[in-house]
Amino acid sequence: MSDSVVESLSAQQARSKRTRDQLIAAGYRLLEKQSLTTITVADITQEAGFSIGAFYRRFENRDVFFDALLQAALEEAAATMQDLFEGKKDYASFADRFARTIIQRHVKYRAVYRAAALRGYNNPEERTPTKEYARTVLSRLREWSEIYLGRSLSRAETVQMSMSFQVLNGTILNALVGNPGPMRLEDPEFENELARIFRDSLSHIFAKARKGSP
């Protein structure tokens, strides 16, 4: 294959990726304004400025498109969490940053997380990408904690850590979907208080931890 053909293919692939990215960005914007169930392929292509054919060359249907929206948000969240787990921190600052990072990711992508949560409520037994991601994050939290402590977590500690994580996620999802108040997800007090509650709920596990970072 000649260099000119390779360059032409690379340019086509780059254009195709830009089109896909712009369609996904349009999906995020639409979810801020309307529910997932009311968004049509025509809405997406009109918002992005592309033809319906351009959409179907990249996504099989609307459900596949939404999965791509969610996957992009989860991949960005995973990269952020990876940086957090690899950093050297004491427990208190780590737990605070851990909770705040999860809250901030949900604020940034609240529309897509809300849509995913509502879709999950209709199929509670389905192993959705968000549930799988949450399980992965909890597993990494346990691993980090055991490295920090220099020992395995006890059964009771594992249960408490799981419940603390569930309370963190559940409170965020409740604010996303139901917004019962009095604090809203985007309120600074919501982030501050929920991060404190999460940190304090696990503090006794680390009370006798060796000093220093993992």
CATH code of 107's domain: 1.10.357.10
Please enumerate in sequence order all residues whose Cβ is within 8 A of that of 102, keeping only pairs 6 or more positions apart, or say none.
137, 168, 169, 172
Q: How far apart are CA 76 and CA 58, in angstroms?
A: 21
152 lies in the same domain as 55? no
130 lies in the same domain as 172? yes
74 lies in the same domain as 165? yes
Q: What does each of the 214 residues of the chain score in pLDDT, given as a tens digit?
A: 554 544 555 777 788 888 999 999 999 999 989 888 899 999 999 999 999 999 999 999 998 999 999 998 999 999 999 888 887 678 889 999 999 999 999 999 999 998 888 877 666 666 688 889 999 999 999 999 999 999 999 999 999 999 999 999 999 999 998 888 899 998 999 999 999 999 999 998 888 654 444 4
Instruction: Specify the pLDDT at position 179.
Output: 82
Q: How far apart are CA 126 and CA 182, in angstroms?
A: 31
Instruction: Specify the pLDDT at position 11.
Output: 74
Instruction: Specify the pLDDT at position 122.
Output: 66
User: What's the length of the chain?
Assistant: 214
Q: Residue 26: which domain range?
A: 1-59
Number of domain units in the chain:
2
Residue from 200, 212, 204, 14 nearest 96 by CA: 200
Which of the 8 DSSP states describes residue 187?
S
90 lies in the same domain as 183? yes
